[in-house]
Amino acid sequence: MTSAIIRVVSCRRPRLAVLLMLSLLSVLPGCKKGDGLSDAQREQQKTEAVINDLREKGATVTPKSYPSHGTGYIVDLKGAQLTERTFQNLKDLQRITELDLSKSTLTDDQMDQLNQVAFLLLKLDLSNTNVTDAGLEKLTNLKLCINLYLAGTQVTQAGANRFMQEHKRPANSKLPLPPMKVHLR
C-alpha cells in the first residue's frame, strides 16, 4: 500500500513523494530512527552492549531459557568491585533471574540499587559481603526468590528470620513457588 501511494504521488510531484516517504518511514514499525533497524534489533544491540560492558568488568552473563516465559540471565559478579555503573548495567539488562554478588564490595548503602533489579531474581548470592540486618531490610523487591545466600555476612539469625517472615508468600498465591530459603551458613 505504501509503495502504491508513493508511486501515485511521485508521478505528479517528486518533492511531495519524498516528504510523504520520509513521513511514512517515521511511523512505520521499526523505522522510527531512520537507521534501518527495527525496535527489536535496537533493543538487542542495547542488551549486547550492556552484556559486553558487564563482561569487561569480569562478569559472566549467561542466558537461560524458561519455557513459556522467555529468556532470563544468570549474572556472576563474584568478587567484583560494584559501582553505580554496574547497577545501571544490571538494571538495563533486565530479566536477571540469578545473581551472584558473593565476595563483592556490596554494602548496605548499595542495597537500594540492588532492590531495583531484584524483582525477577530466583536466586541471589550475597555471601561474604558486608551486608547487615539493616541492609537486608532494604531488600523489599525480592518477590520471586527461592534461594538467598547470606553466609559470611553480618546478617544475624534474627534478621534472617524477620526477613523470611516479611517475605512469606501468601497461601493463595497465583505462582506456585516454594517458600524462600535463606542460607546463613
Q: What is the domain count for the chain?
A: 2
Residues 56 and 99 occupy one common structural domain = yes
Per-residue pLDDT tens digits for 56-106: 989 999 999 988 888 899 999 999 999 999 999 999 998 999 999 999 999
Q: Of 166, 155, 160, 154, whose CA–CA distance to 182 is shortest?
A: 160
Q: Of 95, 105, 121, 115, whose CA–CA distance to 57 is shortest?
A: 105
Looking up residue 108, the CATH number of its domain turns out to be: 3.80.10.10
- Report the mean per-residue pLDDT for the chain: 84
Could you identify the residue written with the cell 546463613? 184
* pLDDT tens for each residue of the chain, 185 residues long: 444 444 444 445 555 455 445 454 444 554 455 677 888 888 888 889 999 999 998 999 999 998 888 889 999 999 999 999 999 999 999 899 999 999 999 999 999 999 999 999 999 999 999 999 999 999 999 988 999 999 999 999 999 999 999 888 777 767 678 888 999 98
Residues 110 and 143 occupy one common structural domain = yes
Given a contact cutoff of 8 angstroms between Cβ atoms, the answer to whether 23 and 31 are in contact is: no
Residues 19 and 85 occupy one common structural domain = no
Give the CA distances from residue 29 to residues 34, 39, 45, 54, 126, in Å, rounded to whole numbers and listed in that order.
Answer: 11, 8, 17, 30, 42
153-185 b/e with 16+ CB inside 10 Å = b? bebeeebbeebeeebeeeeeeeeeeeebebebe
Show the domain range for 80: 38-183
In angstroms, what is the C-alpha Rg of the chain? 23
Residues 53 and 125 occupy one common structural domain = yes
Residues 43 and 116 occupy one common structural domain = yes
Give the CA distances from residue 38 to residues 6, 22, 160, 164, in Å, rounded to whole numbers and listed in that order.
Answer: 22, 16, 46, 44
Q: What's the pTM value of the predicted model, to 2 decimals? A: 0.78
Residues 83 and 44 occupy one common structural domain = yes
Residues 73 and 152 occupy one common structural domain = yes
Residues 23 and 61 occupy one common structural domain = no
Residues 65 and 147 occupy one common structural domain = yes
